[in-house]
Amino acid sequence: MSNRLLLNPKRYDRVHPDDKTRQVMEKTIDFFERKGLKSLKEDDQHSRWYDDFLRFIKEERVFATLLTPAGYGEPDSRFDLTRVCEYNEITAFYSLAHQYCYQVSILGLGPIWMGDNEEVKRRTAQLLSEGGIFGFGMSERAHGADLYSNKMKLFPDGKGGYLADGGKYYIGNANEAALISTFGRYADNDEFVFFVVSPQHRNYKLVKKISTSGVRPAYVGEYELIGYPITRGDILSSGARAWDAGLSTVNIGKFQLGFASIGICTHALYEAINHASNRVLYGKKVTDFPHIKKIFVDSYCRLIAMKLYALRSLDYFRSSSAQDRRYLLFNPIQKMKVTTQAMKVIDMLLDAIVAKGFEQETYFESAIRDIGMIPRLEGTTHVNIALVIKFMRNYFFNPVDYPEIPRRDEPGDDSYLFAQTTGGLSGVTFPDYRRAYRGVELPNVKVFLEQVELFRGFLADAAPDAEQSRNIDYMLALGEMFTLIVYAQLIMENCRIYQIGDELVEGIFNLLIREFSHYALDQVTNYANTGKQEQYLREMMKKPVLNQEQENRLWTRQVSVLNGVYE
């Protein structure tokens, strides 16, 4: 069952709820398979814009189907987060640059679907049906994603409209977007505002393409609006609603980064295992060396854990409501933890295939460049850890009963996503986290749970004092441990749902124990702690229960058999 969690385009047998969804996924796989790795790499090396992909999504109405909410497009169009996420994984499996075009369009569409401008919504649905892509004009050159320092302004034109002046930087699809949702302020009252602009307008100046080491065929650009006329019909939202639209859009769009990372790591794992299994050194297959087997087993366990977490956080996102906002904790962990775990997978696999990974014709070479960009977009990692810390008290000390969230992969239009509100994080509650572990008697799961209880004891009995709490570095380091605890909880929940075998569960929790111990050691060696705090932290440093026979079975039954399944 665990191998079935990994995307394999050669054996794509996922059961979809409707023919249109199945056709979109299968035709996209066919597009990339026909194009081939050699052509994708040539496009990458020459930073060649993907006209062929844009023709494909237009002809097959891909974005129109996946990104148009129910009621605005064809009967089979809906904003169904399950298939939205799967498409991110498929496109990134082949090319993060192509996934980037899709993800940026999701971001650009967010403020439109969240606004109350029906005229723009209908126009957007038509543009999607014509194959349009979209952009999200949020960040600026001088202050990145610091929204409070935004300099884009709408100045009254004296005729009931406005003139937009200002620049945006690091904006995807800035060259050919049908519309770009742009964030700014009214010059006369300093209120926030979202409005749409067209790159085809004469007052829109495309300043330049920003060259990056990865996603080369994509277009990351800088643009300026110079006296760009904005009518009431171009405004999507104002004031608090515009602010909420910006943050809620990021909740949806950046959530996709985890699935993109999973797609990249899956392809890289296949390529690495194929190479290592068929290479002979010193009279032995490379995969016969014990340390190489260990690398592949750990990489596989880490990747399956990433997928289990991502799918479970997706269940919570689709189940969210005004009464259940747990996704506000799980989403930033998706954006930060899954993507940083992906960096570790690529690093480990590179240690297994070494020089081969740098050869230009391999997929791996682009994976090395692309994977590190994902968690670092707009300071994703530290920003999201800082957000996660806000939930610690309620998570550990104020449990509230909730009904169990089932697996949520049924078809449906996830309309609540466009009605999110921000703020009120102190009111977000959680059930007892120990519920996920009830009845589980596996050795490494029990060791990890001991670490969790020690961390809870640390917070209850030796909590950071006022000075430590003001030390952002100290709190971020604690946040790493808390993040891992939540990460493990959702993984454990999905191990039950997907009936993951004991040996793989033990392999995953072996990794989690080691990582938690590493964070505890870091907290002791890098920061000043009280005697009681240090005692707790030292007790958190635990060793997993080692079982070589179990690891050998994982290698034989689940990892080595991946050789040749995708070429």
Tokens of residue 243, six digits: 């602010």
Average pLDDT, the chain: 94
Q: What is the mean pLDDT of residues 259-286?
A: 94
Q: What beta strand segments (E) does 142-299 contain? A: 153-156, 162-172, 179-186, 192-197, 204-209, 220-230, 235-238, 280-281, 284-285
Beta bridge partners of 181: 136, 196
Single-letter code of the amino acid located at 87: Y
Q: What is the pLDDT of residue 283?
A: 86
Above pLDDT 70, what percent of the chain?
98
CATH of 3-133, one of 3.30.360.10, 1.10.540.10, 2.30.30.90, 3.40.630.10: 1.10.540.10
The segment(s) of the chain belonging to CATH 2.40.110.10 are 135-239
Q: How far is Cα 452 from Cα 540, in angstroms, rounded to an integer?
A: 8
291-303 per-residue burial string, b: 16 or more CB within 10 A, e: under 16: ebbebbbbbbbbb
Q: What is the mean pLDDT of residues 517-534?
A: 96
Domain spanning 135-239 has what CATH number?
Answer: 2.40.110.10
End-to-end CA distance of the chain: 21
Beta pairing, strands 220-230 & 204-209: antiparallel
- pLDDT value at 272 more than 60: yes
Above pLDDT 90, what percent of the chain?
88
The segment(s) of the chain belonging to CATH 1.10.540.10 are 3-133
Task: State pLDDT tens for residues 138-178.
Answer: 999 988 777 788 899 999 999 999 999 999 999 999 999 99
Write out the CATH class of domain 254-401+423-562.
mainly alpha
The segment(s) of the chain belonging to CATH 1.20.140.10 are 254-401+423-562
Q: What is the mean pLDDT of residues 457-485?
A: 93
